[in-house]
Structure 1
Amino acid sequence: MDTHSMSVLGLTSAEEDVYRHFLRNPGTPADQAPAVFPPDQDGAGRAIRRLRELWLLHGDDESTWATDPGVAVPRLAEKQLDSAHRTVRQLVDTRPILWSLQRDRPGPREEPSPLGGGAALRRLEDLREVRAHIDQLAFTTRSEVLAAEPYDALSPENIAHARHLDLRCLSRGVSIRSLVRARALEDPATLEYLRELHAGGARIRVADELSELILVYDRRTALVPIDARDTGRGALCTEEDGLVNSLVGLFERLWAAAADFAGPTAPDSGEAARLTDTQQLVLTAMCAVSKDETGARQAGMSLRTYRRHISDLLRLLGARNRAQAALLARERGWV
């Protein structure tokens, strides 16, 4: 072959040649593949076996077919991205390697501080450093983010930055619980962002009064402002168990006292529905097609995200099932 463009997807040149062979010659016997590269007939056999393991070839030895590229390429890309993500997380969090090496040193051994410099508390006085640290934590967190954020409104820049981090976490299955001020719901852009976050699977609660700024990642790392009255002065970051547990306890008390965020709410009688463009797209697909897979493709999103939007729409419409939701949506003139 003149080019082997599938190497970025994890295939060797031999595997790509065999895959392309069966794309051009569907239904042909598997033993015809070695003829593609006579110098290494055993290599062709190994390539066929691995392609079958990757579900890129199907059928039997008498009649072999290549998986459609529209299915094969995204599958391989997702596999490579998952592998790359695991590698990056290991490179970002090198503490297990440091601890292992420290144990091999003679003499007294101290576990290296996760915050650097041997301190249990780290000061981040440059706002760019604070943002970079939050970016890193959002990327490496594995299971949960707790956020109490006493803002009255978010700027478009802050929304764009937060949306990227939050939706990336949610797409990886990370749980997000967010506490916001009731006053933040009065800002249209902030409200729209919270609706999008809620539709993506985040749990949001609203407090009439909220002054505490708390970020906790995996109940292991916590950030609080150096000065609660002036967050521009920077943040304190800690992984000290006692401090983190105290902040988690404070967050849980604030959470218990707050009210659930209603998400997208039904409009008053006679008013137009306040659906986001994405929700309108999903609603239209839900009413038009019977299979979620078809609806997700039509809406241009993953099946998981599509089903999350469906659940949100059912709550919004007060419907017990999709058939009732479609009926209610038509009655309201939404579709």
Structure 2
Amino acid sequence: MHTNEMGVFGVSPAEEHLYRHFLRHPDSPSEGLHVKLGIASHELDQAMTRLIGLRLLRPGDRAGSFVPVDPEQVVARLTEMRLREMYQEIQTLTQSRHVLTTLRAETAAPANGRPAGAYDGEHGVEEIDERADLMNRVEELVFFAREEIASVEPGFHMITDEVVNRRRGVEWRALKRGVRRRLVVPADSLRYPRASGYVRELLARGGEVRVVEDISDQLVVYDGRVALMPKDPKNADEGALMVRGRGLVSTLSGLFEKIWEQAEDVSVELREPEEPAPELSEAELRVLRMMCAVGKDETGARDLGVSVRTYRRHIADVLRVLGASTRAQAALLARERGWV
């Protein structure tokens, strides 16, 4: 019997032994297997039930037979499940700091008046409740980052002008230092101009962005040593948890990598500005069409019944709206848009 290599995924020795048997003997019956494998009958039944529930086994073509699911799919699914379980465990642990308070309350104070058991030193997890404190801490972490900043941001569509400006100030400098920046956001968030504008600028400066259809996990990992995650995933206003140390942070880094693998690159179209098409007033459209039809400003102004000065002012407005530097360029852009 193999050692319990799949134990890291929460699979028991009996379950792994049974799964490996079906890998060697696909579409074989389960009847009498407890004798063949040396497993108690009730233990085999429990293992079969869990393997089917985990989708490691599925019914075969014959009655009572089973077929193993491809190992690559199995490992990928179990990895994702285990990472999410560990993510939830970390959140539960970090929300249990109140236990320290209750334990200290049970500790009698010594004669010198100092509380017994007052431990010094840095804890692995720190709670940050105030928004201003959180913003300052984020800027500090970005400033000292030297390798990578990796984040998953499900609420990216709600990014504010204040946050955008503060992030530009520190993240752009980090990119210049050679820090890798990876960002995962929901695809729908890019429908919002502020969010899509930030993404385009980040891409232009060498950042990497991927999108997913649906995501709930929110976290940021700095250099694989420090991570930030919300105290309450459903309410970002409740504050954040700062997790330190490679041991705890490695789990969160693994979750990010899993999400990154399953995400898709931002489409090429989003790398270009997506500003709404400019509009011209009726007067400007008439000037534009006249400009393309006649050669002299005096003629165009006379035909429109306006002064030459007003006519030229309208032309200047048309060039500005179209983003053209010359009249010829404006005419070409107007034809591309079907305006003339």
TM-score, normalised with respect to structure 2 = 0.44
Rg (Cα) greater in structure: 2
TM-score, normalised with respect to structure 1 = 0.44
